[in-house]
Amino acid sequence: MLTIGKLSKTAGVKVPTIRYYEEIGLLPEAERSAGNQRLYGTATMDRLSFIRHARDLGFTLEAIRDLLSLSDTPDQSCAAADQIAKAQLVAVRDRLVRLRALEVELERMIAQCAQGTIADCHVIKVLGNHDLCSHEHNQKDQAVQ
């Protein structure tokens, strides 16, 4: 059995995150020691590793909840898991398109800067006036942050 600190260190997940995952039901409620200390077994460690890896791949908590639910019934078809992964791939590709547009815009902004004074700085002017941008990115890219 692992304490929350050891689980945190082993899984590379902060203690408050582990508590949060318990609170929202992604992790089962921990057993308690006689001194009321949280104790975790290997099944929880495996589940936490799954969650962390899924988060590293950008899956939402809701998608992770669905994937965990699917993994709890291993004899069923994996079609639903495939659909969740495909939706994540589409989201990643969409984000990449937006990031590439941002990259082009930033390169253009920098290239047009005469590197004189701030009063003449194109970077400052573009940041102050979105109409000077060559791409529309203000609405869609809020999710990228």
Quick: pLDDT tens for 64-105: 999 999 998 989 999 999 999 999 999 999 999 999 998 988
Quick: pLDDT tens for 11-43: 999 999 999 999 999 999 888 888 888 899 999
End-to-end CA distance of the chain: 38
pTM, two decimal places: 0.75
Closest CA to 1 of 25, 37, 27: 37
pLDDT of residue 138: 55
Half-sphere exposure of 48 toward its Cβ, with a 13 Å CA cutoff?
A: 28
